[in-house]
């Protein structure tokens, strides 16, 4: 497809593309205006991670994961539920979205609501609840370890108190025993001293007796010996009473006391270690807790973010444009009809020898009345188109001119009968003795085209009921033109047309007329194929944009297979003012510029037509026009 054809295609479908764009834009604008306004409020906060002892890649990833976690937490159902309870109205899931600002630690919270005041309240409320939740999250994280350490400290304190009580109790008992023992010893020594002093008091100090002197000396020596012992016991007693300890603690201790003291030392160490661990935990908690701080509060929006009728209309118009353009592309892609002369030449491998425009007809008379259009409108563009077809036929076989021409098509309603009838008229207008035969014994139309009776015709000649002269009719408005209608419709048209009598009939007509034009059924039946071998040439009629390529190719291949001579293809019913097909009726611009096409194309009804002056014979008129040219 060349650029010209692309432009023609675009021009042909431009109305649909424009319509789709307008409908899409209008629908988008209408639906946008009917939507409820949505307001958007934004709050910005920053998440500052806890102090890090290292700045490695893992710490960077942890920070990113932490920010992502907080953004997901903002839209969690629990937080939204808490916000609903705090604000006093429901906060629905999907209203709030949190987005990290690039690679920074800033997060933007966006809230949408139909009420601008509520949108701002929800944004600020969610950030406040997030800050509260941040502390709770860290408390939960260290709560278990802190609880275990505190329980261990409490247990150690309890055990230390118990052991200290046991040790105190045990030490008091030992001390009392020691005091009693010392008292007993002191009493014994004091008794001994008192007894010696009593004994000395009984001796006269002035006695000169050696025995008395010896006793006194001995008693004094004993007193001197016992006095230091008594003083030592008194000192021990004083220490036990006043200081609560003995000079020698090793003697006062026992095995149980040593065991209790050893256990006490272990619990004291456990207590000290637990206190240190708890302090370390508090320090870790303070170091690992990130700081969430709001840097921008949400304010009440003044205008809605949606709907935006103009933008929605433009977007819908663009969608309508693309949808209709896609539809056009799909239609063109799936359309396998023959549209241009190049398509016909490429697919059918046959030249295009005629371009016939689309004719308007009288609805009361129907399309079949267009067979004599050239006779009634000799100066119309379509008449010139048939004259061009006549000239192309003459030049297609200069050395061996075709005397018998068959007109057929690939399917129904492609205008083959109209082409055959008008071609016969222009051939007769050129001075040739022409006869047109209606060989369509299934749906004959030639008698309708020329408004003739169909009581007798070709079928009666072939069956031997009548002679050729009995069925030949003339058309008063065109000289040198004879007509043989179909006649009685036989039950076996294919056998009748393929008979030897039919061949002899064609030979007889060829001897009597300069040109024999035969209208046959479409190629969907075998009648045209049978007759195509009995004639000099075949004209194949197609409708651009309607005749499918495959439907036209198969009959054409069949004609070539049986050795028929295809003179060319006639493109019929080309629309006027639509250059999508063959440049539209501009193909006949030299004529259409001077004559009104649509007015002349309507065939007048002879019954209602007023009486007119006598007409000049069309052959003379055509000869005169050729002389002027």
| CATH code of residue 79 | 3.30.70.1130
Query: Do 486 and 457 have their domain in common?
Result: yes
CA separation for the pair 539, 569 (Å, rounded): 6
- What DSSP letter does each residue of 509-522 carry, written as one string? HHHH-SEEEEE---
Query: Do 51 and 94 have their domain in common?
Result: yes
CA separation for the pair 187, 577 (Å, rounded): 153
Report if residue 314 sits inside a domain.
Answer: no
Report if residue 328 sits inside a domain.
Answer: no
> Is 456 in a helix, a strand, or coil?
coil
- pLDDT at residue 185, rounded to an integer: 76
Report if residue 360 sits inside a domain.
Answer: yes
Query: Do 434 and 572 have their domain in common?
Result: yes
CB 246 within 8 A of CB 236: yes
- Residue (of 426, 362, 414) closest to 599 by Cα position: 362
User: Which residue carries 């075998």 as its tokens?
Assistant: 526
User: Which residue carries 């505190």 as its tokens?
Assistant: 150
> Is 106 in a helix, a strand, or coil?
strand
Query: Do 274 and 401 have their domain in common?
Result: no
Report if residue 383 sits inside a domain.
Answer: yes
Cis peptide before 307 (omega within 30 of 0): yes
Query: Do 168 and 261 have their domain in common?
Result: yes
Q: Residues near 474 by Cβ (< 8 Å), separated by ≥ 6?
A: 481, 482, 483
Please state the domain count of the chain. Answer: 3
- What DSSP letter does each residue of 499-565 carry, written as one string? SHHHHHHHHHHHHH-SEEEEE---TTSSHHHHHHTTSSEEEEEE-TTTSBHHHHHHHHHHHHHTT--
How many CA atoms lie less than 13 Å away from 165 in the CB half-sphere?
6
Can you read off the two tokens belonging to residue 300? 């009440």
- Residue (of 227, 242, 320, 324) closest to 28 by Cα position: 320
pTM over 0.95: no
- Residue (of 357, 397, 320, 270) closest to 591 by Cα position: 357
Q: What domain range includes position 564?
A: 350-628
Cα 563 to the chain's mean position, in Å? 56
Query: Do 121 and 136 have their domain in common?
Result: yes
CA separation for the pair 485, 454 (Å, rounded): 6
- pLDDT at residue 612, rounded to an integer: 41
CB 122 within 8 A of CB 108: no
**What φ, ψ does residue 107 adopt, rounded to 5°?**
-130, 135
CB 361 within 8 A of CB 354: no
Query: Do 191 and 254 have their domain in common?
Result: yes
**314, burial (CB in 10 Å: exposed 0-12, middle 13-18, buried 19+):** middle
- Residue (of 494, 506, 485) closest to 402 by Cα position: 506
Which domain CATH number covers 455?
3.40.50.300
Query: Do 43 and 189 have their domain in common?
Result: no
> Is 249 in a helix, a strand, or coil?
helix
Query: Do 109 and 216 have their domain in common?
Result: no
CA separation for the pair 439, 458 (Å, rounded): 7
- pLDDT at residue 94, rounded to an integer: 82
Instruction: Mark 258-296 as b/e (b = at least 16 C-beta within 10 Å).
Output: eebbebbeebbebbeebeebbeebeeebeeebbebebee
Domain end among 309, 342, 367: 309
Report if residue 316 sits inside a domain.
Answer: no
CB 181 within 8 A of CB 174: no
CB 362 within 8 A of CB 602: yes
The H-assigned helical ranges of 115-202 are 116-201
Query: Do 481 and 602 have their domain in common?
Result: yes
CA separation for the pair 262, 159 (Å, rounded): 13
CA separation for the pair 539, 385 (Å, rounded): 15
Query: Do 236 and 299 have their domain in common?
Result: no
Can you read off the two tokens belonging to residue 439? 């060989």
- pLDDT at residue 584, rounded to an integer: 42
- pLDDT at residue 289, rounded to an integer: 60
- pLDDT at residue 504, rounded to an integer: 93
Query: Do 252 and 300 have their domain in common?
Result: no
Q: What is the CA radius of gyration of the chain?
A: 64
- What DSSP letter does each residue of 282-319 carry, written as one string? HHHHHHH--EEEEEE-----SS-SB--HHHHHHHHHHH
- pLDDT at residue 405, rounded to an integer: 95
User: Which residue carries 């479409």 as its tokens?
Assistant: 522
Report if residue 343 sits inside a domain.
Answer: no
**Below-50 pLDDT ranges, the chain:** 53, 57, 246-252, 580-629
Report if residue 215 sits inside a domain.
Answer: yes
> Is 397 in a helix, a strand, or coil?
coil
pLDDT digits (tens, 9 = 90+) for 550-592: 999 999 999 999 999 999 999 998 876 555 444 444 443 334 4
What is the spatial order of strands in the sheet that 96-100 belongs to? 96-100, 106-113, 39-48, 291-296
**What φ, ψ does residue 256 adopt, rounded to 5°?**
-65, -40
- pLDDT at residue 63, rounded to an integer: 59
Helix axes 116-201, 77-87, angle to 10 degrees: 100
CA torsion 493→494→495→498, rounded to 10°?
120
Report if residue 340 sits inside a domain.
Answer: no
DSSP letter at 360?
-
């Amino acid at each position: 497809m060349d650029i010209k054809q692309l432009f023609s295609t675009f021009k042909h479908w431009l109305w649909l593309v424009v319509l789709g764009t307008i409908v899409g834009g209008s629908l988008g604008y209408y639906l946008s205006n009917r939507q409820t306004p949505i307001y958007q409020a934004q709050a910005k906060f920053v998440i500052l991670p806890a102090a890090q002892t290292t700045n490695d890649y893992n710490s960077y990833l942890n920070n990113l994961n932490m920010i992502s976690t907080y953004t997901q937490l903002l839209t969690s159902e629990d937080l939204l539920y808490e916000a609903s309870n705090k604000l006093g109205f429901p906060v629905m899931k999907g209203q709030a979205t949190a987005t990290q600002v690039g690679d920074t630690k800033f997060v933007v919270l966006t809230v949408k609501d139909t009420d601008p005041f509520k949108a701002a309240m929800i944004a600020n409320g969610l950030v406040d609840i997030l800050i509260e939740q941040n502390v709770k999250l860290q408390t939960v994280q260290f709560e278990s370890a802190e609880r275990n350490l505190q329980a261990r400290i409490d247990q150690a304190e309890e055990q230390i108190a118990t052991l200290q009580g046991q040790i105190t109790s045990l030490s008091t008992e030992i001390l009392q025993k020691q005091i009693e023992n010392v008292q007993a010893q002191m009493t014994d020594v004091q008794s001994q001293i008192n007894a010696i002093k009593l004994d000395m008091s009984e001796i006269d100090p002035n006695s000169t007796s050696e025995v008395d002197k010896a006793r006194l000396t001995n008693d004094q020596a004993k007193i001197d010996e016992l006095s230091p012992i008594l003083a030592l016991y008194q000192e021990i007693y004083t220490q036990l009473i006043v200081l609560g300890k003995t000079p020698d603690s090793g003697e006062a201790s026992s095995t149980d006391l040593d065991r209790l003291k050893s256990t006490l030392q272990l619990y004291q160490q456990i207590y000290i270690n637990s206190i240190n661990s708890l302090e370390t935990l508090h320090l870790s908690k303070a170091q690992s807790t990130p700081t969430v701080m709001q840097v921008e509060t949400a304010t009440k929006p003044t205008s809605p973010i949606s709907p935006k009728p103009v933008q929605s209309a433009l977007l819908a118009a663009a969608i309508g444009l693309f949808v209709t353009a896609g539809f056009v592309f799909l239609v063109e892609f799936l359309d396998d009809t023959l549209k241009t002369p190049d398509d016909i030449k490429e697919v059918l491998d046959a030249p295009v020898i005629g371009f016939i425009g689309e004719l308007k007809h009288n609805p009361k008379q129907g399309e079949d009345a267009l067979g004599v259009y050239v006779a009634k409108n000799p100066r119309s563009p379509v008449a010139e188109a048939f004259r061009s077809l006549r000239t192309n036929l003459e030049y297609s076989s200069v050395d061996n001119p075709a005397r018998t021409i068959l007109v057929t098509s690939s399917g129904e309603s492609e205008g083959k009968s109209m082409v055959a009838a008008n071609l016969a008229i222009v051939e007769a207008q050129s001075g040739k003795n022409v006869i047109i035969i209606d060989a369509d014994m299934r749906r004959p139309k030639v008698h309708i085209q020329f408004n003739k009776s169909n009581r007798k015709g070709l079928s009666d000649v072939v069956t031997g009921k009548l002679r050729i002269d009995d069925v030949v009719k003339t058309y008063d408005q065109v000289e040198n033109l004879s007509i043989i209608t179909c006649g009685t419709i036989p039950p076996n048209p294919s056998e009748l047309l393929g008979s030897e009598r039919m061949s002899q009939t064609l030979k007889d007509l060829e001897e009597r007329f300069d040109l024999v034009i035969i209208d046959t059924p479409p190629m969907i039946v075998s009648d045209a194929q049978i007759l195509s071998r009995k004639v000099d040439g075949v004209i194949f009629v197609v409708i651009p944009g309607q005749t499918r390529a495959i439907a036209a190719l198969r009959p054409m291949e069949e004609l070539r297979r049986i050795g028929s001579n295809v003179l060319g293809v006639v493109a019929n019913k080309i629309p006027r003012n639509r250059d999508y097909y063959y440049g539209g009726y501009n193909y006949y611009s030299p004529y259409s510029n001077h004559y009104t096409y649509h007015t002349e194309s309507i065939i007048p009804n002879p019954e209602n037509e007023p009486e007119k002056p006598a007409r000049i014979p069309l052959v003379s008129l055509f000869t005169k026009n050729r002389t002027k040219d």
